[in-house]
């Protein structure tokens, strides 16, 4: 966790790599005090500061509670960015109960666990940003369970927006398309994907991270319950 005096505090999951790391870096540059959570404990530099991720399994609510309680230290949480997620391929022919539970536990239960614990430290004006996916809206071959889990995140975003509105806490989501992350690069399909995207390229993690800051800012103060698709025109709603 970075330590910035009198700064806002953001809880970011999946912060060790990819879009989670880029989001943590962007928020530090914007003056946020970041509590970085990930299943992998690591450190990296952002804006001249060292960010240390706290090793936490987001599927275990008690562990999430302990991590937040131990590290918030009386601060007010202004932002929760639920970015942790997994995307093993699955079809009707090869899915297993174990894969189903892993996907939904991380992608759906993890969002609920972190939000439920973090909003206890939120006051009016706080913001929750969930990470869904374009696969919540468009069918992708071989992503039976992942697509279903991200569709669930879209609906959770709507339900949580209504539930938390009386407290003036906003809840929105981002649905990225192809983004240049280590996980996507490992598929070997990014070049082909880029060729099919109307804007002619995949997104960069920093571009997605910027939208977390926007959704947490006063520029989006009248927006809640929405999911923004960032796909270069690959999926248009």
- Determine contact, residues 203/180, Cβ cutoff 8 Å: yes
Q: Is 173 helix (H, G, I), strand (E, B) or coil?
A: strand
From the list 87, 100, 121, 146, the catalytic residue is 146
- What are the helix (H) ranges across 130-189? 144-164, 182-185
Q: Is-catalytic flag, 121?
A: no
Q: How far is CA 65 from CA 54, 89, 109, 114, in A?
A: 12, 30, 14, 8
Strand partners for 127: 79, 170
The sign of the CA dihedral 189, 193, 195, 201 is: negative
The two three-digit tokens of residue 220, written as one number: 């989006």
Cα–Cα distance measured from residue 146 to residue 216, given in angstroms and rounded to the nearest whole number: 26
Q: Cβ atoms within 10 A of the Cβ of 168, count?
A: 13
Which residues are annotated as catalytic?
Answer: 146
């Amino acid at each position: 966790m970075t330590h910035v005096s009198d700064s806002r505090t953001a809880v970011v999951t999946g912060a060790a790599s990819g879009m989670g790391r880029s989001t943590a870096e962007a928020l530090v540059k914007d003056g946020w005090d970041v509590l970085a959570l990930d299943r992998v404990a690591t450190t990296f530099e952002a804006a001249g500061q060292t960010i240390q991720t706290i090793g936490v399994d987001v599927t275990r609510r008690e562990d999430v509670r302990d991590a937040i309680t131990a590290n918030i230290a009386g601060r007010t949480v202004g932002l929760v960015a639920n970015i942790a997620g997994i995307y093993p391929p699955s079809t009707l022919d090869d899915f297993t109960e174990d894969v189903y539970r892993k996907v939904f536990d991380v992608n759906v239960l993890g969002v609920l666990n972190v939000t439920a614990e973090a909003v206890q430290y939120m006051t009016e004006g706080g913001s929750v940003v969930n990470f869904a996916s374009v696969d919540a809206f468009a069918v992708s071959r071989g992503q039976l369970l992942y697509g279903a889990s991200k569709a669930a995140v879209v609906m959770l975003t709507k339900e949580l927006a209504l539930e938390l509105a009386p407290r003036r806490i906003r809840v929105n989501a981002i649905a990225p398309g192809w983004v240049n992350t280590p996980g996507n690069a490992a598929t070997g399909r990014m070049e082909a994907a880029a060729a099919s995207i109307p804007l002619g390229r995949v997104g960069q993690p920093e571009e997605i991270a910027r939208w977390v800051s926007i959704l947490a800012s006063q520029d989006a103060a009248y927006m809640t319950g929405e999911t923004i698709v960032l796909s270069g025109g690959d999926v248009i709603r």
